[in-house]
């Protein structure tokens, strides 16, 4: 699994005809699932993100987690994180997990964040979405589970 995490003051996602889902301060998580990803990858990544200390404490140091600050998370499925563009001009998505597996892992990831105590909103799996991000910092991190679990 791969996650691009952006610390935000707000974030939202909209799908025409479906509405908008929004969060206040917290993280927008763009989440990609790779073929071979499992429950272990999902658990590890959710725990890592919930406890990642990138929010400022009273001294201005990045020392507080999403849980510490009562932050929210907007989780967006994004298979394009596993694009391979080394050859040719059109990326290959062969490394991305098949939709039925990716959707289950995506839903499980959001559920695990909620169980950890994070208020979670999600995008619509497989839909064309408009995502708005008000990056705070800016702070943007990439976390990849390859070789870790």
Q: Is 9 a catalytic residue?
A: no
> Exactly one of 6, 78, 121, 145 is catalytic; which is it?
78
Q: Which tokens is 102 given?
A: 């990716």
> Exactly one of 9, 20, 38, 80 is catalytic; which is it?
80
Tell which residue, 101, 88, 86, 116, has the closest CA to residue 26. 116
Q: Residue 80: count other Cβ atoms within 10 Å of its Cβ.
A: 11
Tell which residue, 106, 78, 101, 82, has the closest CA to residue 93. 82
Q: Is 6 a catalytic residue?
A: no
Q: Is 38 a catalytic residue?
A: no
> Exactly one of 6, 79, 121, 122 is catalytic; which is it?
79
Question: So which residues are the catalytic ones?
Answer: 78-80
């Amino acid at each position: 699994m791969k996650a691009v995490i952006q610390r935000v003051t707000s974030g939202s996602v909209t799908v025409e005809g479906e509405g908008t889902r929004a969060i206040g301060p917290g993280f927008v998580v763009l989440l990609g699932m790779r073929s071979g990803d499992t429950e272990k990858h999902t658990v590890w990544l959710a725990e890592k993100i919930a406890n990642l200390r990138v929010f400022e404490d009273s001294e201005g140091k990045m020392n507080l987690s999403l849980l510490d600050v009562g932050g929210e998370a907007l989780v967006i499925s994004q298979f394009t994180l596993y694009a391979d563009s080394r050859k040719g001009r059109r990326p290959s998505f062969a490394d991305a997990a098949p939709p039925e597996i990716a959707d289950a892992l995506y839903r499980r990831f959001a559920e695990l964040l909620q169980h950890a105590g994070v208020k979670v909103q999600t995008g619509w799996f497989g839909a064309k979405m408009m995502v708005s991000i008000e990056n705070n910092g800016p702070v943007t991190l990439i976390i990849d589970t390859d070789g870790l679990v």
